Structure 1
């Protein structure tokens, strides 16, 4: 648990060059990630159900507090990999069934949610090393490959292959540039 939390903090430190104390006081995205990590650990633990429900009840209060003051909703049942980074706070909604890989960055206004009808209804699965730009929306039973860049204000409703940049409404592949310089 501490290893995962320290990975998130180290990523914030790499980007900002600021001290851990400064980041813990000032970075709303980091607050949301920490509350998510603690609640997710409880959710996935083998604690007896009655005790887990008490802990999650308290954790939900912290989650709602963070959601209200930061505008970031990271439900404890979502699966978010190591070294997660939220570039700016506000308007970030992640579905409780979403899966996000390791070393991903998201910007303000991002929605990762449920959409579609019939067999296409579902929640996205996002690979490793993915950068998601401001106000992007990723919805439906789709998979976003590794090393992908989703441009700002894009609407992604179809699966995306590895190592490319997507842009537009609906998002289309605009280049083979990967996320190497964004992450």
Structure 2
């Protein structure tokens, strides 16, 4: 997908949860953060000529910092995020620069997707498609979160999860195999 298709898919996802063009574009902080990320990621991935790359990446970092201060959402340009990405609420979201997030995912406020672990377990998560991440969840370490997973509020995920898992707790344990249908 190109930049405009990605932004359109994110907008449609936000629109699905209510709101009109005016409220989404001017009052939805999650959309602002995703919009800024899409532009910065496009520059990071596609601009190779050094004088322009340096200047545009610098401008992207400055706009990222402004969005981070205003919204409390940090999404580095180097992260890889699929289409139809939805951030439902304001603030406290930290995504590691090396994180990979699949298509059609929802993230709630207070979520951290970061680096953790020791030795071969040290690393950043790879999150599948159609994953719902609840409020204040932490996903960390060199793990793989399968497709259609639900991560409950205040959960700590530090082990890989199979598809259609519903997890909850610290550390997170599988409580069902119902998946994310109805959450996404």
Q: TM-score, normalised by structure 1?
A: 0.98
How many angstroms does 1:21 deviate by?
2.1
How many angstroms does 1:20 deviate by?
1.4
Provide Cα deviations, 1:117-160, integer angstroms capped at 9, x if missing partner: 11000000000000000000000000000000000000000000
Give the distance between the partners of 1:21 and 1:55, measured in 2 at CA: 28
Give the distance between the partners of 2:51 and 2:157, measured in 1 at CA: 39
Provide Cα deviations, 1:94-134, integer angstroms capped at 9, x if missing partner: 00000000000000000000000110000000000000000
Q: Which runs of 5+ in 1 are unaligned?
A: none
Give the RMSD, CA atoms, in angstroms. Answer: 0.7
Find runs of 4+ consecutive structure 1 residues off by over 3 angstroms: none
Give the distance between the partners of 2:99 and 2:53, measured in 1 at CA: 22
Tell me what 2:8 maps to: 6
Tell me what 2:145 maps to: 144
Secondary structure, counterpart of 1:108 in structure 2 = coil
Tell me what 2:78 maps to: 77
How many angstroms does 1:37 deviate by?
0.2
Q: Which runs of 5+ in 2 are unaligned?
A: none
Secondary structure, counterpart of 1:44 in structure 2 = helix
- Map 1:149-168 → 2, pairs under 5 A: 149-168=150-169
Tell me what 1:100 maps to: 101
